[in-house]
Chain A
Amino acid sequence: MDASAPIKPPVDDAGVDRTLIIRSLTKAYRAGQPVLKNVSLKVEGRGMTAIIGPSGTGKSTLIRCINRLVDPTAGEILFLDQDIAKLNGRALRQMRRRIGMVFQEYNLVERLSVIENVLTGRLGYVPVWRAWLRRFKARDIERAFQLLDAVGLGALATQRADQLSGGQRQRVGIARALMQEPDLILADEPTSSLDPKTSVEIMELIAKRAGERDIPVIVNIHNVALARRFADRVVGMSKGEIVFDGPPRDLEDSHLLQIYGGEGWLE
Chain B
Amino acid sequence: MIPAGPAGAHVRHWQRFTFTERVMRSLFYIVVLIGIVWSLQSIEIIPEFLYDAPQQTADLFVRMWPIDWGWYPKVVHAALMETLHTATLGTILAVAMATPVALLVARNVTRSVLLNSIGRFILVATRSVHAMIWALFFVAVFGPGALAGTLAIAVHSIGFTGKFLSEAIEEAKPGPIEALKAAGAPPLAVLIKGIWPQVKPAFLALAMFRWDINVRESAVLGLVGGGGLGMALDTALSNLYWDQAGLVLAVIFGIVIVAEIATSWARSRII
A and B interact physically: yes
On A, residues with C-beta under 8 Å from B are: 67, 69, 93-101, 103, 105-112, 116, 120-125, 128, 131-132, 173, 176, 180
A120-B188 in contact (CB<8A): no
A109-B184 in contact (CB<8A): no
Q: CA of A110 to CA of B175 in the docked complex: distance in angstroms?
A: 11
Query: Does B197 count as interface, using CB distance less than 8 angstroms?
Result: yes
B193-A120 in contact (CB<8A): yes
A107-B179 in contact (CB<8A): yes
Chain B residues closer than 8 Å to A109, beta-carbon distance: 176, 179-180, 193-194, 197-198
Chain A residues closer than 8 Å to B185, beta-carbon distance: 93, 120, 123-124
> Can you pick out 19 interface pairs between chain A and chain B where the beta carbons lie within 8 Å of each other?
A67-B182, A69-B178, A69-B181, A93-B185, A96-B183, A103-B178, A107-B176, A107-B178, A107-B179, A109-B193, A112-B193, A120-B179, A120-B180, A120-B193, A124-B186, A125-B184, A128-B192, A131-B189, A131-B192
Chain B residues closer than 8 Å to A106, beta-carbon distance: 175
Distance between B197 CB and nearest chain A CB, rounded to angstroms: 4
Query: Does B127 count as interface, using CB distance less than 8 angstroms?
Result: no
Chain B residues closer than 8 Å to A103, beta-carbon distance: 175, 178-179
Q: CA of A55 to CA of B68 in the docked complex: distance in angstroms?
A: 77
* A110-B176 contact, Cβ under 8 Å, with A120-B193, A123-B189, A131-B192: yes
B interface size (C-beta, 8 A): 21
Query: Does B85 count as interface, using CB distance less than 8 angstroms?
Result: no
Contact indicator per residue, chain B 134-176, by CB within 8 Å of chain A (1) or not (0): 0000000000000000000000000000000000000000011
A124-B200 in contact (CB<8A): no
Chain A residues closer than 8 Å to B180, beta-carbon distance: 109, 120, 123
Give the residue name and chain of the B residue nearest to A112 (CB). B197
B178-A180 in contact (CB<8A): no
Give the residue name and chain of the B residue nearest to A94 (CB). B184
Q: A96-B181, A106-B175, A109-B198 are in contact. List 9 more A-B contacts (CB 8 A).
A: A107-B178, A111-B200, A116-B193, A120-B180, A122-B183, A123-B180, A123-B185, A123-B193, A128-B186
Chain B residues closer than 8 Å to A98, beta-carbon distance: 184
Identify the 7 closest CB pairs spanning chains A and B, nearest first: A124-B184, A97-B184, A123-B185, A96-B184, A107-B179, A107-B175, A111-B197
Chain A residues closer than 8 Å to B197, beta-carbon distance: 109-112
Distance between A201 CB and nearest chain B CB, rounded to angstroms: 21
Chain A residues closer than 8 Å to B181, beta-carbon distance: 69, 96
Most buried by B among A67, A69, A128: A128
